[in-house]
Amino acid sequence: MVLITLAVATMAGVVIRRRDGVPREAGGDVERLTSGDLDAPLGERATLVQFSSAFCQPCRATRRILSEVTEMVPGVAHVEIDAETRLDLVRSLNVLRTPTVLILDASGRVVRRASGQPRKADVIGALGLAVGE
């Protein structure tokens, strides 16, 4: 029982760590978010939308990474949303974890989506797609 539990947990841990924060194509219907949805203006070229919550360890580090990226790349906005106060968006976008980061192009279309703490290089790569470079 103990060994099975630990073996399954090890596999789960490896899979989660490997998938964590990797930006993926947003599956299902392509979503488009407006500045009205976000209660904040969209970035001129792209927007990084971060869903956070009170009980979220990697949210702080994610916030730091995303603000570093917005300082580096001009025309990119970083919008942080408290998942608990915007359950409407959480449900319609099917956000299951915090942090979840959506990478929007200039028109607000969700180009990529990462759940878990993303790596800086991955965010920059996904931004490249969003601004069409």
Partner 1 sequence: MHADPRALRFSAAVTVVVLALVLVTGGAWLLAFQAVVFALGAFGASPYGMIFKEIVKSPPRELEDATPPRFAQGVGLFFALVGLIGYVTQITPLALGATAAALFAAFLNAAFGLCLGCEMFLIVRRLLPAAK
Contact 119, 24 (CB under 8 A): no
60 forms part of the interface with partner 1 (CB under 8 A): yes
- Look at residues 90, 92, 115 and name the one whose alpha carbon lies nearest to residue 102: 115
* CA atoms lying within 13 Å on the CB side of residue 54: 2
88 forms part of the interface with partner 1 (CB under 8 A): yes
CA dist 35 and 42 (Å) reads 6
Nearest approach, Cβ of 40 to partner 1 (angstroms)? Answer: 20
**3-class SS at 79?**
strand
Nearest approach, Cβ of 19 to partner 1 (angstroms)? Answer: 12
- Near partner 1 by CB under 8 A: residue from 40, 56, 106, 129: 56
17 forms part of the interface with partner 1 (CB under 8 A): yes
- Near partner 1 by CB under 8 A: residue from 45, 63, 97, 119: 97
Pairing type for strands 110-115 and 76-82 reads unpaired
Site for partner 1, rule CB under 8 A = 1-2, 5-6, 8-10, 12-13, 16-17, 53-57, 60, 83-85, 87-88, 90-91, 95-98
